[in-house]
Chain A
Amino acid sequence: MSRVIGIDLGTTNSCVTVIENGQPTVIPNAGGYRTTPSMFAISHDGKRLVGHLAKRQAITNSRNTVYASKRLIGRRFDSAEVQKAIDLCPFEIVRGANDDPRIKIAGKTFTCPEIAGIILREMKRVAEEYIGEPVSEAVITVPAYFNDTQRQSTKDAGKIAGLEVLRIINEPTAAAMAYGATNRSEEKIAIYDLGGGTFDISVLDMSDGVIEVLATAGNTFLGGEDFDRRIVMHLLERFQEEESIDLRTDPMALQRLKDAAEKAKCDLSSRESTEVSLPFISSDDSGPRHLQLELDRGTLESLVDDLVQGTVKTVEACVQDAGLTPGDVDRVILVGGQTRMPLIQKTAGEFFGKGPHKGVNPDEVVAIGAAMQAEALVSDDKDLLLLDVTPLSLGIATAGGHFAKLIERNTTVPVRKTHIFTTTRDNQTAVKIRVLQGESDVAADNDLLGEFVLSGIRPAPQGGPEIDVCFDIDANGIVSVSATDLSTGKEQSITVNATGTLSQDEIQKIIEEHELYEVELKA
């Protein structure tokens, strides 16, 4: 049997893990790094670069270097998040055929699953070089708050990378699995996961290898990158005050500032103050200008305090959703590089009334958990079991623009729920079933996963016909919806293939294209 791997496909960095003799091993890439930047670039001479190579040339080639594309995957072009990204990213984001955001670099347009696929392919390659044999199956993690479209798109990315995705699991859940594999006592734990681009909180109950997700919540548009951006803005303002030069229009300067901001942020996790020094950042008539500033921890904390407080609100809601109080939580585990920040450790510690658990590496624990889930699925040793939940409520749009939830969020999967609906007009012969995901009572505020029409309803006064709508989520999280006219037995159903994601044909085309490209590289 070939080996299965776990991949943490992060906003800024990705990590791959395999289980060897029952122990998880984080696989270093060729450069010896245990995580690989989730970056992709096309260099000036047309070469495709991934990971550290892409990152290294990002400063001089910022328009053709893609980073943080995970923030765009599975979203609609018109969504606020994508529009925000368009303002901030140095690379071009264009509208795709399915109203999805696509990334245009070096004259070529890529879909987001394609970019993610390129990064996954790199991680697959890293694993194959280490293991010494082909790898074809993986568990990939996503933020807990990813909706179905974002999950499907990530799955598509796996296919594009030549991986069969055994399961998509949530990042905090993966972290809990890694923890639960070695800590088998009966505990309630909270996973506070602040990564490069997303924030997740999950509360879980575990005992002897069984892990039950009690509740999960998060924000897919808040992460370490936002912290960096606050620092960049701060540096920009200070530089403008001192030198009267606006660096906002200079992509190369921006990229340097971004790198410096990230570095300063990391420094301030262990030190009280740090120096930001960027010589020759700009120039004017009087010659070259340098940026040289002192940044202390207090300043950083005041810059990002509202972001950190924002996470506390989400944590509060999640703990309440789980039917617990902060004191009921036995252990708090911090995941994601951003949680190295002392302010976050302090804030989480204060909220739960206990210091965070120190035993895990916040950059690697998610990938380790992913590999453990992969292993638990395919191996005969069924010692670890994850009782996963749906992250968002599911239902259909009803008359008047309302949202009728059929499956509440945090319901354990697999699950099936049915409900009877009826017509709103006399002699109505067809109904449109619009499948939505989200928490708002207003249909339009939720994500549309798919829609279909049930026709051939026998003419009757309004409210007469009975239409049975059944939602089914299987253990793999695949949603299928069927509607049946109870009087005629006529049935229509869909397996939700979310709108905005790629069709099977498109994926196939991309796979073939990339296969061609691989040939090109070797030649």
Chain B
Amino acid sequence: MAAGGGAGAIGARTPRLASDCDLEGLDLSPAEGFLLSRIDGHTPQALLRQVGGLPPDEVDRCIERWAESGLLVFVSSGPPARSGEGDSGFGEASASAARAPVAIDPQLEISAEAQQAALAMDAGLERPYHEILGVEPDADVRTIKRAYFGLSKEFHPDRYFRRDIGPYADVVERVFRRIVEAYELLSDPATRAEVQRDLAAAAQAPPEPQPEPPLETPAEEPAAEISRPRKRRTGPRPFSPLTRAFAQRRAKAKSFFEAGMAAYAEGRWLEAAGSVRLAIAFDPRNAVYKSRFVDVRQKVADVRFEQLTKEADSAMTFRDRGDALKLYEEALHYKPFDPQVNHTAARLAWLVADDPRRAKEYAVRACEVEPEQPEYRKTLGMIYKAAGLKANARRELQCALRLNPKDDEARAELKSL
């Protein structure tokens, strides 16, 4: 995106509605209402300047004013940027599922700015293709290609090759796929004509599930109204601009939720989680979305757990075991109580990372879950021994021997104590 421009710092910040904001007393023009509807806590101000339907300086002024009046706050670039918002629904850091709540995380090897840019693109993937590429609807092929190349430099997964970018790996890849799709459709005259027809049709006849005009249309029309604000008062106003904005957001949330449930029914858990998360982002108060999200997240966790352990297993055979440990530990995020993985992680933390304290925690947990497993007991005993905790070591090794009297290694370890 041609983000930032001159006022880079302002452009990079991302406003969201304050949770306690009072919308009742406001008097906004439809154009301002439209801008307000674009503010979702994902889209940075630079992007809002482009998609807010108002001239850029007007956008800046509105945001400034609303921020002063307490209507908006800015998403901090510190860690759990969104924890205040979705409360019980999706803010917990403990089980951050793969495609689920993505927050700005300065620990990752992707700059906070790039994280915001990625989230902003990700939130806008349903926009018309030319908007995704940031070009005019009638841009020529050369301009389209340039935009595509520019965005590729920013969002191609190779940019983050081997970097630890956590959940952004999925975000970036998803964004890149969509950019490619946009480019492919718009750079071929045949498909482009089709896209333009669809766009024109959508502008004329709003699709069924959305009783309000589709989100893309108001762009030019309100701009005209701004210049003559007096006239507006004479006509009837079926919706206050904000009610309309929120109705639109709820409709959008509903369509995301439905897409999510469809994906869920088909077993595409990651997609389901992403869609439901978006639904919650657009309609944070809906309890149904939140409760279903718990299910979906569990499925995603299962899938991630399986993937990670599989990767870890192959790392064990191939690459260094430090990698394997990292992968097992990541897997434990998703299923903290899997005894086998805890046991393996314990052995690796002890033998490879030389970190007996960490090893002990994993081993203890494995033993808690399956107290009758002699291998786990033995490992724990040996870790205690390595840490110099002889009494504990003796207890565990004795226990291991009781469970499996034939274990000579445990016997030898016990003897050497």
Contacts and interface: CB of A to CB of B under 8 A. Distances in A.
B191 to A, nearest CB: 12
A486 B146 CA distance: 40
Interface stretch (A101-109, A116-124, A299-307, A378-386): A378-386
Contact of B265 (A166, A376, A486): A486
Contact of A207 (B149, B159, B162): B149
A159 B318 contact: yes
B255 interface: no
B162 A378 contact: yes
A370 to B, nearest CB: 15
A508 interface: yes
A385 B146 contact: no
B70 interface: no
Contact of B314 (A209, A382, A504): A504
A421 to B, nearest CB: 14
B324 to A, nearest CB: 14
Contacts of B268: 484
B317 interface: yes
Contact of B319 (A164, A207, A416): A164
A508 B161 CA distance: 26
A191 B347 CA distance: 52
Interface in B120-170: 145-146, 149, 152-153, 156-159, 161-162
B361 interface: no
B148 to A, nearest CB: 8
Nearest to A382: B159
Contacts of A385: 152-153, 156, 158-159
Interface in A209-225: 209-210, 212
A474 B176 CA distance: 11
A475 B149 contact: no
Interface string B261-278: 000011110000000000
A296 interface: no
Contacts, number: 61
Contacts of B113: none
Interface in A480-513: 484, 486, 489-491, 504, 508
Contacts of A415: 177, 180
Given A486-B266, A489-B267, A386 B158 contact: yes
A377 B318 contact: no
A210 B159 CA distance: 12
A378 B267 CA distance: 35
Nearest to B314: A504
Contact of B153 (A210, A414, A468): A210
| Chain A interface extent, by class | 20 to 34
B413 interface: no
A289 B326 CA distance: 70
B149 A210 contact: yes
Contacts of B162: 377-378
Contacts of A412: 180, 184
B330 interface: no
Interface in B283-332: 314, 317-319
Contacts of A484: 266-268
B355 interface: no
A59 interface: no
Which of B149, B176, B188 is the most central at the interface, judged by chain A CB atoms within 10 Å of its CB? B149
A503 to B, nearest CB: 11
B173 interface: yes
Given A164-B319, A414-B177, A377 B158 contact: yes
Nearest to B303: A491
Contacts of B267: 484, 489-491
Interface string B236-267: 00000000000000000000000000000111
A376 B318 CA distance: 24
Contacts of A491: 267
Nearest to A504: B317
Nearest to A470: B268
Interface in B72-99: none
Nearest to B266: A486
Contacts of A504: 314, 317-318
A82 interface: no
B266 A468 contact: yes
A484 B153 CA distance: 34
A228 to B, nearest CB: 38
Nearest to B150: A210
Interface in A455-469: 468
A489 B262 CA distance: 11
A484 B266 CA distance: 7
Contacts of A166: 161
A209 B154 CA distance: 13
A387 B152 contact: yes
Which of A208, A378, A382 is the most central at the interface, judged by chain B CB atoms within 10 Å of its CB? A382
Contacts of B265: 486, 489
Interface string B13-25: 0000000000000
A205 B145 contact: yes
Which of B156, B180, B319 is the most central at the interface, judged by chain A CB atoms within 10 Å of its CB? B156
A386 B158 CA distance: 9
Contacts of A323: 188
B149 A208 contact: yes
A452 B271 CA distance: 24
A209 B153 CA distance: 9
B266 A475 contact: no
Given A382-B153, A385-B158, A414-B177, 20 more contacts: A159-B318, A164-B319, A205-B145, A207-B146, A210-B149, A210-B153, A212-B149, A376-B158, A377-B162, A378-B161, A385-B156, A414-B176, A474-B157, A474-B173, A475-B157, A475-B158, A486-B266, A489-B265, A491-B267, A508-B317
6 contacts: A378-B161, A382-B153, A385-B156, A474-B157, A474-B173, A484-B268
A-B pairs, top 10 by smallest CB distance, nearest first, are A210-B149, A489-B267, A377-B161, A475-B157, A412-B180, A484-B267, A491-B267, A486-B266, A382-B159, A385-B153
